[in-house]
A and B are shown apart, each in its own frame.
Chain A
């Protein structure tokens, strides 16, 4: 494993060089927001941000993706090929979002049942993670769900960059995998020594201490297993607008819809994000809807993340990024909900 020290400016320049050579998706300033999007050549990455407003799942599991094209022939409508090949991509994300990729992997890349579209994107994607030594949002709770703002050598990350502070703002770049090492030529800097490791460890301790939200994410599993019919669920959803914001900006939500769009003789079959918060999500053609009110839908969201995914994968289905907390228009707060579940 190669480790290098660069100044902050040199690191930003390296990302810009990378963006000139490959497709790079990362934090970019967009008006008042920092969003996860393409780092166009000549554009500065927004390295001073804490986290992007939207989750980076779009890189592996696009908001809308063409599954196949079809065309009308004399014999009927037939498949005529599929969407575009996924491009070689470098994503620049925070550690919680890098952890979300591992959860998506568990869903889309199961042995014997691989999603070819997701796997195609995943294989061509290099993950650069920017550790969070700065005290992050008050809504962050990654340490409650197995995450770490300054991780040692996280799974699924190819290059880990940690801001060690100091005069010019020094970045410690660790090239953890062969995929990461393939980017070495872009990041020119001096070799890092043991002192840099010590500084990183120190930054990590400070960052972990700076995370103020503690959520009993793992502890609620046995409580959720026993309380499917608890009156608690009836009091949860009153102000929910069923807008789906929480699921769309969540880095781990992966529910999708498949729909056809046709114009004259040609058309596409698309996959697009969907949400368990929407009333029609489970409505059957007969009119029957197993989750007929927002109560059942909210319970599903909590159960899926904190009971079903832990039962199936021994992981919490949440990475503690706090986006749903920050962006819910009616201030429904998953941290408080999980804390309240713990009190049942």
Chain B
């Protein structure tokens, strides 16, 4: 084997990227969005992705961390990941500066089922930090060339407090659009908060999106999922029409290292996106 750096089909080889921009998303400063530009412009085409896919952020000397892609493929010239500081790699990433180089492997995994969503009303429900790949999906659907492919778009997004809401500028822009029905809620507001207060399941019940020709895309902490699911079942959504994205510890990202094996599936390769009907068939080990 020649030097694998010259080979373009080695799935273990990260694509070199440069940190173009770092945005601190939340008051606690432990969630940042990293915008990466490709060192070799031709790599952008190699990294052709669909919303819902993820990448392994690769810092040589520290390791890799699987993170969902937060930008939309309609945003050209860069790719973004919103990362919470949690383990070794994400802590190292949070200490990096604009202009520094690292690597990304990907895009990995399946994606939000765009073809399945086409022609349907889409209800996006996100809680806390799990909004990242939902943001990718939303930004993909609302660009002029795609907007007509989808019906009504409803978004319910909640965080514990106003300081923990991600993508604040975009929330404002989405809120002004007539073709997106956006509901932002916080568990508890502060003196500056003029929006909704309340938990995501209660807001979903209140908004009550119709299940008619609709799909719900749902991401959030387990406790939120547990209480939101019954709301959507009650509204008439079937398990086939409620879709989520799983998180697991992953290393290779290509279904070989065995770490994210759940039932006869590998979350990195067969997922991370599953419908709740598919999750019913899996063993409950995620």
Contact = CB atoms under 8 A, between A and B. Distances in A.
Interface of A: 67-68, 70, 75-82, 85-86, 107-108, 110, 113-117, 120, 228, 254-260, 262, 267, 269, 274, 276, 281-286, 290-291, 296, 300, 303-304, 307-308, 311-312
Contact of B252 (A258, A296, A311): A258
> Which of B63, B90, B103, B285: most chain A Cβ within 10 A?
B285
A257 to B, nearest CB: 6
Given A258-B12, A281-B259, 10 more contacts: A67-B12, A80-B5, A82-B13, A228-B283, A256-B256, A267-B60, A276-B261, A290-B248, A308-B261, A308-B263
Contacts of B13: 68, 79, 82
Contacts of A85: 1
B264 A307 contact: yes
A260 B256 contact: no
B249 A284 contact: yes
A254 B259 contact: no
Interface string B251-263: 1101111111111
Given A68-B12, A77-B61, A282 B1 contact: no
Contacts of A308: 261, 263-264
B63 A258 contact: yes
A116 B1 contact: yes
**Chief secondary structure at chain B's binding surface:** loop
A79 B5 contact: yes
A300 to B, nearest CB: 7
A308 B65 CA distance: 26
5 contacts: A116-B7, A256-B251, A262-B61, A291-B285, A304-B258
Given A108-B256, A260-B62, A120 B247 contact: no
Contact of A86 (B1, B102, B258): B1
B103 A79 contact: yes
Given A113-B269, A285-B86, A296-B285, A258 B64 contact: yes
B258 A256 contact: yes
Contact of A282 (B3, B259, B264): B259
> Which of B59, B102, B257: most chain A Cβ within 10 A?
B257
**Chief secondary structure at chain A's binding surface:** mixed
Nearest to A116: B10
B93 to A, nearest CB: 12
Contact of A78 (B4, B90, B101): B101
A152 B194 CA distance: 78
Contacts of A307: 264
How many chain B residues sit at the interface, stated as a range, is 35 or more
A255 B283 CA distance: 19
A67 B87 CA distance: 22
Contact of B14 (A79, A107, A120): A79
Contacts of A267: 60-61
Contacts of A282: 248-249, 259-260
A14 B274 CA distance: 55
Interface in B59-95: 59-65, 86-88, 90
A274 B1 contact: no
B1 A254 contact: no
Contacts of A86: 1
Nearest to B91: A285
A274 B103 contact: no
Contact of A300 (B11, B59, B248, B261): B261
B251 A258 contact: yes
B163 interface: no
